[in-house]
Structure 1
Amino acid sequence: MVTKQLIVFFLIGGALILMGAGFWLKKNIFLIKHYNESSISDKEGLAKVAGLYVIAIGALIFLTSFLAQAVGNFAWIILAVLVSLSSMLMLKIIMKYV
Structure 2
Amino acid sequence: MIGGFITCIVIALIMIIMGYQIHIKKKLWLIAGYQEETFVGDKERLAKVSGVFLYVVGITTFLLPFGLESIGDIVAITYAVLVILGILLVIVWGNIINKHS
TM-score by length of 2: 0.87
**Which residue identity does 1:23 align to in structure 2?**
I
**Which whole-Å deviations, capped at 9, do the CAs of 1:39-92 have from their partners, x for residues lacking one?**
222111111111001111111111112111111222111101111211222122
Q: Structure 2: which amino acid aligns with 1:61?
A: T
* Runs ≥4 residues deviating over 3 A: none
Q: Within 5 Å, which residues of 2 pair with 1:1-98? A: 3-40=2-39, 41-98=41-98
**TM-score using structure 1 length:** 0.89
- Give the stretch that moved more between structures: 20-29 or 58-67: 58-67
Which secondary structure does the structure 2 equivalent of 1:97 belong to? helix
Unaligned runs of 5+ in 1: none
Unaligned 5+ segments in structure 2 are none
Task: Provide the identity percentage.
Answer: 32
* Cα distance between partner residues in 1 of 2:57 and 2:46: 16
Give the match's secondary structure for 2:96. coil
- Mapped to 2, the partners of 1:14 and 1:73 lie a distance apart of 23
Deviations 1:20-44 (A, max 9, x none): 0110000011111222113222111
